[in-house]
Amino acid sequence: VSTQSTGHYYITNNLSMVDAATKKTLAAIPLLKTKAGPRDKEDWPIRLKEEVTSLIKYIQNNKTADNDWLRIQSNKEGTRWFGKCWYIQDYKKYEFELEFDIPVTYPSTAPEIAIPELDGKTAKMYRGGKICLTEHFKPLWSRNAPKFGVAHALALGLGPWMAVEVPELIKRGVVVHKDDQPSGE
Protein backbone atom coordinates (compact mmCIF):
# COMPACT_ATOMS: atom_id res chain seq x y z
CA VAL A 1 0.00 0.00 0.00
CA SER A 2 1.32 3.41 -0.92
CA THR A 3 0.11 6.85 0.12
CA GLN A 4 -0.39 9.71 -2.26
CA SER A 5 0.17 13.27 -1.06
CA THR A 6 -3.58 13.93 -1.28
CA GLY A 7 -4.22 11.53 1.57
CA HIS A 8 -5.79 8.93 -0.68
CA TYR A 9 -4.32 5.50 -0.97
CA TYR A 10 -3.71 3.02 -3.70
CA ILE A 11 -2.80 -0.64 -3.75
CA THR A 12 0.27 -1.87 -5.59
CA ASN A 13 1.44 -5.36 -6.52
CA ASN A 14 -1.88 -6.97 -5.56
CA LEU A 15 -3.85 -5.81 -8.58
CA SER A 16 -2.22 -7.71 -11.42
CA MET A 17 -5.63 -8.95 -12.59
CA VAL A 18 -7.23 -5.48 -12.51
CA ASP A 19 -7.26 -3.19 -15.55
CA ALA A 20 -5.89 0.36 -15.56
CA ALA A 21 -9.33 2.01 -15.31
CA THR A 22 -10.21 -0.06 -12.26
CA LYS A 23 -6.85 0.74 -10.67
CA LYS A 24 -7.53 4.43 -11.21
CA THR A 25 -11.00 4.12 -9.66
CA LEU A 26 -9.60 2.18 -6.72
CA ALA A 27 -6.79 4.68 -6.17
CA ALA A 28 -9.40 7.39 -5.58
CA ILE A 29 -11.28 5.43 -2.89
CA PRO A 30 -9.89 6.10 0.58
CA LEU A 31 -8.79 3.00 2.44
CA LEU A 32 -10.14 2.31 5.88
CA LYS A 33 -8.01 2.32 9.00
CA THR A 34 -10.14 0.86 11.79
CA LYS A 35 -10.28 -2.93 12.04
CA ALA A 36 -13.71 -3.42 13.55
CA GLY A 37 -16.85 -5.38 12.80
CA PRO A 38 -20.44 -5.02 13.98
CA ARG A 39 -19.75 -6.90 17.23
CA ASP A 40 -17.06 -4.40 18.26
CA LYS A 41 -19.31 -1.92 20.07
CA GLU A 42 -16.48 0.53 20.77
CA ASP A 43 -14.78 0.72 17.35
CA TRP A 44 -17.65 -0.17 14.97
CA PRO A 45 -19.05 3.41 14.96
CA ILE A 46 -15.56 4.65 13.98
CA ARG A 47 -15.32 2.04 11.21
CA LEU A 48 -18.85 2.87 10.05
CA LYS A 49 -17.95 6.56 9.74
CA GLU A 50 -14.91 5.58 7.64
CA GLU A 51 -17.17 3.37 5.47
CA VAL A 52 -19.61 6.20 4.83
CA THR A 53 -16.80 8.66 4.07
CA SER A 54 -15.25 6.20 1.60
CA LEU A 55 -18.63 5.52 -0.04
CA ILE A 56 -19.39 9.21 -0.42
CA LYS A 57 -16.03 9.77 -2.10
CA TYR A 58 -16.54 6.77 -4.40
CA ILE A 59 -20.02 7.92 -5.46
CA GLN A 60 -18.81 11.51 -5.96
CA ASN A 61 -15.95 10.22 -8.12
CA ASN A 62 -18.39 8.15 -10.18
CA LYS A 63 -20.65 11.15 -10.75
CA THR A 64 -17.68 13.31 -11.77
CA ALA A 65 -16.60 10.62 -14.25
CA ASP A 66 -20.18 10.33 -15.61
CA ASN A 67 -20.30 6.78 -14.24
CA ASP A 68 -23.15 7.06 -11.75
CA TRP A 69 -24.53 3.55 -11.32
CA LEU A 70 -25.78 3.04 -7.77
CA ARG A 71 -27.50 4.36 -4.68
CA ILE A 72 -26.91 2.70 -1.34
CA GLN A 73 -27.81 3.19 2.30
CA SER A 74 -27.69 1.20 5.49
CA ASN A 75 -29.80 0.59 8.51
CA LYS A 76 -28.99 2.68 11.60
CA GLU A 77 -26.51 0.09 12.89
CA GLY A 78 -24.67 -0.16 9.56
CA THR A 79 -25.14 -3.93 9.46
CA ARG A 80 -27.66 -4.18 6.61
CA TRP A 81 -27.11 -2.33 3.34
CA PHE A 82 -29.58 -1.89 0.49
CA GLY A 83 -30.19 0.24 -2.55
CA LYS A 84 -30.34 0.23 -6.31
CA CYS A 85 -27.77 -0.35 -9.00
CA TRP A 86 -28.25 0.02 -12.71
CA TYR A 87 -26.71 -0.80 -16.04
CA ILE A 88 -27.30 1.21 -19.21
CA GLN A 89 -27.26 -0.49 -22.59
CA ASP A 90 -28.63 0.83 -25.88
CA TYR A 91 -29.90 3.96 -24.08
CA LYS A 92 -32.00 1.82 -21.72
CA LYS A 93 -31.53 1.76 -17.97
CA TYR A 94 -31.81 -1.67 -16.35
CA GLU A 95 -32.31 -1.14 -12.63
CA PHE A 96 -31.90 -3.73 -9.86
CA GLU A 97 -32.35 -3.81 -6.10
CA LEU A 98 -29.18 -4.71 -4.22
CA GLU A 99 -28.69 -5.81 -0.64
CA PHE A 100 -26.17 -7.33 1.71
CA ASP A 101 -25.41 -7.81 5.37
CA ILE A 102 -22.09 -7.05 6.98
CA PRO A 103 -20.68 -10.43 8.10
CA VAL A 104 -19.92 -10.88 11.80
CA THR A 105 -16.29 -11.55 10.80
CA TYR A 106 -16.10 -8.28 8.83
CA PRO A 107 -13.72 -6.76 7.73
CA SER A 108 -11.79 -10.04 7.43
CA THR A 109 -14.69 -11.42 5.39
CA ALA A 110 -16.14 -9.50 2.46
CA PRO A 111 -19.87 -8.87 2.31
CA GLU A 112 -21.89 -11.10 -0.02
CA ILE A 113 -23.69 -8.72 -2.33
CA ALA A 114 -27.06 -9.89 -3.63
CA ILE A 115 -29.33 -8.86 -6.47
CA PRO A 116 -32.36 -11.00 -5.49
CA GLU A 117 -34.37 -10.46 -8.68
CA LEU A 118 -31.58 -12.10 -10.72
CA ASP A 119 -31.53 -15.22 -8.53
CA GLY A 120 -31.29 -18.31 -10.72
CA LYS A 121 -30.80 -16.35 -13.95
CA THR A 122 -27.03 -16.82 -14.25
CA ALA A 123 -24.54 -19.49 -13.22
CA LYS A 124 -22.38 -16.78 -11.67
CA MET A 125 -24.71 -16.39 -8.73
CA TYR A 126 -25.46 -18.26 -5.53
CA ARG A 127 -28.79 -18.98 -3.88
CA GLY A 128 -30.62 -15.84 -2.84
CA GLY A 129 -29.16 -13.80 -5.69
CA LYS A 130 -25.69 -13.48 -4.15
CA ILE A 131 -23.22 -12.66 -6.90
CA CYS A 132 -20.24 -14.95 -7.41
CA LEU A 133 -17.02 -13.18 -6.46
CA THR A 134 -14.87 -16.09 -5.32
CA GLU A 135 -12.32 -16.40 -8.13
CA HIS A 136 -11.05 -12.85 -8.44
CA PHE A 137 -12.48 -10.60 -5.76
CA LYS A 138 -12.25 -12.62 -2.56
CA PRO A 139 -8.47 -13.25 -2.78
CA LEU A 140 -7.96 -9.53 -3.42
CA TRP A 141 -10.17 -8.68 -0.44
CA SER A 142 -8.33 -11.06 1.87
CA ARG A 143 -4.95 -9.56 0.91
CA ASN A 144 -6.21 -6.04 1.59
CA ALA A 145 -8.44 -6.52 4.66
CA PRO A 146 -9.11 -4.50 6.78
CA LYS A 147 -8.24 -1.60 4.46
CA PHE A 148 -11.03 -2.45 2.02
CA GLY A 149 -14.62 -1.56 2.81
CA VAL A 150 -18.08 -1.42 1.27
CA ALA A 151 -17.00 1.03 -1.47
CA HIS A 152 -14.21 -1.35 -2.50
CA ALA A 153 -16.64 -4.29 -2.58
CA LEU A 154 -18.89 -2.32 -4.91
CA ALA A 155 -16.05 -1.05 -7.12
CA LEU A 156 -14.15 -4.34 -7.39
CA GLY A 157 -17.03 -6.79 -6.93
CA LEU A 158 -20.45 -5.64 -7.99
CA GLY A 159 -19.36 -3.21 -10.73
CA PRO A 160 -17.25 -5.66 -12.73
CA TRP A 161 -19.79 -8.45 -12.16
CA MET A 162 -22.57 -6.29 -13.62
CA ALA A 163 -20.39 -5.19 -16.55
CA VAL A 164 -19.94 -8.84 -17.55
CA GLU A 165 -23.19 -10.50 -16.51
CA VAL A 166 -25.93 -7.97 -17.25
CA PRO A 167 -25.15 -7.56 -20.99
CA GLU A 168 -25.12 -11.34 -21.31
CA LEU A 169 -28.47 -11.64 -19.49
CA ILE A 170 -29.92 -8.96 -21.80
CA LYS A 171 -28.52 -10.70 -24.89
CA ARG A 172 -30.07 -14.03 -23.83
CA GLY A 173 -33.42 -12.32 -23.14
CA VAL A 174 -33.31 -13.28 -19.48
CA VAL A 175 -33.38 -9.61 -18.46
CA VAL A 176 -35.86 -7.47 -20.38
CA HIS A 177 -36.13 -3.70 -20.05
CA LYS A 178 -39.33 -2.60 -18.28
CA ASP A 179 -40.52 -0.73 -21.39
CA ASP A 180 -40.12 -3.88 -23.53
CA GLN A 181 -42.08 -6.24 -21.27
CA PRO A 182 -45.48 -7.43 -22.40
CA SER A 183 -48.32 -5.58 -20.69
CA GLY A 184 -49.63 -7.25 -17.55
CA GLU A 185 -46.15 -8.10 -16.15
The catalytic position among 132, 169, 170, 176 is 132
- The question of whether 132 is a catalytic residue gets the answer yes
Q: Which whole-number Å values give the CA distances from 94 to 37, 70, 153, 184, in the listed order?
A: 33, 11, 21, 19
Phi, psi angles (nearest 5°) of residue 107: -90, 5
Q: Distance between CA 45 and CA 29 in Å, rounded?
A: 20
Cβ-based neighbours of 174, under 8 Å, separated by 6 or more:
121, 122
Which of 59, 53, 88, 57 lies closest to 72, judged by CA?
Answer: 59
Shortest CA distance to 149 belongs to which of 31, 13, 15, 18?
Answer: 31
So which residues are the catalytic ones?
132
